[in-house]
Chain A
Amino acid sequence: MVPGILNEFLTILASLFSWPLFGFLVLGTIIGLVFGAIPGLGGPVAIALLIPVSFGMDTTNALVMFGATLGGVAFGGSTSAILVNIPGTAPNAATCLDGYPMTKNGRAGEALGVSATASALGAMFGIVVLLAILPFSREFLLLLGPANYFWIAIFGLVTVASVSRGNLLKGLASGGLGLLISFIGFSNVHGTYRYGFGTRYLYDGIQLIPIIIGIFAIAEAIRMFSSTETSISEFTDYSSSGILKGVIHVLTHPLLLLRSSVIGVIVGVIPAAGGAVANFIAYMQAKESSDDPDSFGKGNPDGVLASEASNDAKDGGSLLPTVLFGIPGSATMAVLLGAFLIHGITPGRALINEDLPLLLTLIAALLISNVLTSLLGLSLTSQLVKLTQVDSNLLVPAIVSVSIVGAFALRNNMGDVIVAVVFGVIGFAMIAYNYSRIPLILGVILGPFTERYFFQALQFSDSGFMIFVNDAISLALILLLVVSILLSLRHRGDRGISTIKERSE
């Protein structure tokens, strides 16, 4: 089983070096590097804007491009984190802590060498773990029935709501809204047209892609224009010497690399925890296990190593719940999930069995692009850094233009443009008032599946609603759900108590 998947993976890996797949690989890598380097953009916006561009593409080409973009984003973000102290993406935040001090000490080349090497090796580790788990996941998926899938969807939604930004109530409300939005339109399960007020446009429901374009791309454009922060940064010329020193530093610290990569994979698996959590946890463990913890924050390359290795390893981890259950491990995965659906790829059994070559293509593209990213990124660093000095207002019309045309291109329908604009405003409001957008997107994606599984389970049941609680897997999922909510409440309660104590002192 494992050798079978491995052989297939290696065959697909080799095929990516042929034209036009290699062309899409390079294109996706460059797009990822650029979007990662510019603060405020990042993976979700990159993939949201690429989705409409990929409409006319062959599915394999599209997946290669998406996988390569995913690989490019992480290193692009680390370049700006190291050189100008602005993380290109949230998961690169911890890289600033030691990366920028290294630049100020004239060791920018070494920092970039550490980042490039740790990124590439961390990503490889994450992908190896993913490939190792895939064969066993096939067997696991065969054990699951509709009732189990129902609870997995609910568990995923609640977990995403409880770990993402903002508070638990806002996360759950966001998820509930997403579910309700998904119920608008004709229901294949019941043969009923619901909540559409009889309009033709809403007969097919509110489409996912315009929602994604609005919530992530247009909302970010509004936020960029409204932000009082400028992207103009202080940057001094740097010397690229020292890159090799950085590479050697990573290779001579294999244990730290391994620990950080493991943290990245494990945190990546947790829905919506994402890279921002992974790289801080990895950074803290590197500091605590260091012989010289006081040097952290002043230019210790181990800080950069830990942060970057975990950041890239998390991609492998976060792909796991995304492809197995349709539960995204991060915001980027949530948008990638939308891209899967638009290309007719459904997470779960179908993807692991019939569409396994497509999944392996995505993984292979991610692997190669991480290596390519490190090589390209090191050679294009000075150009990438100039991107961080771009006035963000210059990007706003470009993002709006691509978003509007992209939303229209889905079905040649101006209604989709209206949806994108409306959700752009909603998305901005969610950012401004601290609501997580991931539960909403997840609710829109999972709503139809959850309802279908619910009724399928009832159809197969001899015992009515008892089917949802009468097997071990369902009970385990219910228990995990309750524990997840209680832990989240307790964590927020502890924070609340400490806040109340602070206020009373």
Chain B
Amino acid sequence: MSEDSVSSVVARVRRLRASVVDLAFVCTMLVFVATIAVLSFQYPPDARVFPLLVSIITLPLIGILLLWNVERVSTVNVLPARLRPEDKQSPPSEERLQSRLDTIRVIGWIVLVFGSTYLVGMELSLFLFLLAFYRYEVGLGWLRVGTLSIFIWVFVVAIFTIVLGVPMPQGLIYELLLG
């Protein structure tokens, strides 16, 4: 990806209003609840009655939240005033837009750790994650990076592998090397 395209993606993410992201979150909830409701009909009556009941009660609640978010996004009044949920959330400031990028970055790191576990195993991927995060995100010098990473890694390995005897996944590369 070229620098220009990365910058334009970053700019779009920063311009995205918090209310739009909130709307997307509500839509996701709505889809989940609706899916449960629809899938319920394939089960016997006893097995579906309770989930269906909960879905039927939850759907209009999320529906009202959805309409409220549509109002915020479009600034058109859809709901009667009495039904409009009160919320003190303030509009995003420049600082919060910057924090949105931080949010995406830290989630990216977490997904990367998870993904690399399949490749190199959990112990190694955690150690590499600690080194890389402290160095490139927190901006520490190599001495502090090494100290902190080794300390935390040893603590985690000691507790979970040695004390609790949890067999950490070894990863694809390890399995290939072993045969």
Spell out A's residues near B (CB within 8 Å): 52-53, 55-56, 166-170, 172-173, 176-177, 179-180, 183, 187, 190, 192, 194-195, 218, 221-222, 225-228, 391, 393-394, 396-398, 400-402, 404-406, 408-409, 412, 414, 417-418, 421, 424-425, 428-429, 432-434, 450-451, 454-455, 492-493, 495-496, 499-500
Contact = CB atoms under 8 A, between A and B. Distances in A.
Give 8 closest A-B pairs by Cβ, nearest first.
A176-B58, A190-B47, A192-B47, A226-B103, A225-B106, A228-B95, A167-B85, A409-B166
A274 to B, nearest CB: 19
Contacts of B114: 404, 414, 417-418, 421
Nearest to A454: B50
A401 B129 contact: yes
Contacts of A169: 61, 64-65, 85
B46 to A, nearest CB: 5
A412 B51 contact: no
A434 B69 CA distance: 13
Interface string B103-140: 10111011101100110001000100110011001100
B152 A398 contact: yes
A218 B114 CA distance: 13
B169 A408 contact: yes
A391 B122 CA distance: 26
A401 B130 contact: yes
Interface bracket on B: 35 or more
A225 B21 CA distance: 19
Contacts of A192: 43-44, 47
B87 A397 contact: no
B156 A405 contact: yes
A425 B107 contact: yes
Given A228-B98, A421-B110, A405 B160 contact: yes
Contact of B87 (A167, A408, A414): A167
B29 interface: yes
A450 B133 CA distance: 43
Contacts of A428: 103
A424 B114 CA distance: 13
B176 interface: no
Contacts of A53: 159-160, 164
Contacts of A225: 102-103, 105-106, 137
B29 to A, nearest CB: 6
A156 to B, nearest CB: 15
B96 interface: yes
B110 A424 contact: yes
Contacts of B82: 493
A500 B81 contact: yes
A493 B86 CA distance: 9
Given A169-B65, A176-B57, A180-B33, A194 B87 contact: no
B71 interface: no
B27 interface: no
A71 B75 CA distance: 48
Given A192-B44, A397-B152, A176 B25 contact: no
Contact of A183 (B21, B50, B86, B98): B50
Given A176-B54, A405-B122, A218 B110 contact: yes
B99 interface: yes
A417 B111 CA distance: 10
A170 B65 contact: yes
A187 B145 CA distance: 48
Contacts of B88: 434
A414 to B, nearest CB: 7
B55 to A, nearest CB: 7
Contact of B166 (A173, A408, A492): A408
B70 interface: no
Given A226-B99, A228-B96, 4 more contacts: A53-B160, A180-B55, A400-B113, A428-B103
Interface string B76-97: 0000011011111100000110
Contacts of B21: 433
Contacts of A450: 50
A405 B152 contact: no
B179 interface: no
B62 interface: yes
Nearest to B125: A404
B143 interface: no
Contact of A394 (B32, B111, B148): B148
27 contacts: A53-B160, A55-B164, A169-B61, A170-B65, A180-B54, A183-B54, A190-B44, A226-B103, A227-B99, A228-B99, A397-B134, A398-B152, A400-B110, A400-B129, A401-B152, A405-B126, A405-B156, A405-B166, A409-B166, A417-B114, A421-B110, A425-B107, A429-B25, A432-B18, A434-B87, A451-B50, A496-B86
